[in-house]
Amino acid sequence: MALERTFSIIKPDAVRRNLIGKIIAKFEENGLRPIAIKKIHMTREQAEGFYAVHKERPFFGELVEQMIASPVVVQVLEGENAILKNREIMGATNPANAEPGTIRKEFALSVGENSVHGSDAPETAAQEIKYFFSDDELVG
């Protein structure tokens, strides 16, 4: 198995409900170590650029509004098979379909306000890490 890095966001709905610690605990308990972490309030431009792949989708406007409503925590997580493992720990996009014990099953409010983002492939992980972090912020 390969040591990988993936990108994670603890979204506004979870930060507002004081779930940062509980969510990071899930990552650490499952072998994903934060090697970079910061709290930011995304600008509209940042959020629109980050989710540009979804700009034609009907939920794009609502998604951007939710992501800029209040601060988020952005992280780089490192571990064996980190990209897939993070997706498993997060659970399905819609919390109604998420497995028991996953972050989204336990904490998400709705398909939109679903508490976390995680990269879905090596290419997007690399792009998303670069979007928010410089190389010298990654402390492996």
124 binds ligand ADP per the rule CB under 6 A: no
| 54 classed as catalytic | no
Question: Which residue from 75, 119, 83, 76 is spatially nearest to 4, judged by alpha carbons?
Answer: 83
Taking CB under 6 A as the criterion, the residue among 10, 32, 63, 89 binding ligand ADP is 63
Question: Which residue from 75, 101, 78, 59 is spatially nearest to 11, judged by alpha carbons?
Answer: 75
Beta strands per DSSP E along 1-131: 3-10, 33-40, 72-80, 116-118
Q: Which of 117, 125, 129, 132 is catalytic?
A: 117
114 binds ligand ADP per the rule CB under 6 A: yes
111 binds ligand ADP per the rule CB under 6 A: yes
Tell me the Cα Rg of the chain.
Answer: 14
SS3 content of the chain, % helix, strand, coil (to 5): 45, 20, 35
> Residue 31's Cα: distance from chain center in Å?
16
37 binds ligand ADP per the rule CB under 6 A: no
131 binds ligand ADP per the rule CB under 6 A: no
Taking CB under 6 A as the criterion, the residue among 69, 93, 109, 124 binding ligand ADP is 93
120 binds ligand ADP per the rule CB under 6 A: yes
Taking CB under 6 A as the criterion, the residue among 31, 34, 71, 112 binding ligand ADP is 112
List the binding residues.
11, 59, 87, 93, 104, 114
The catalytic site residues sit at 117
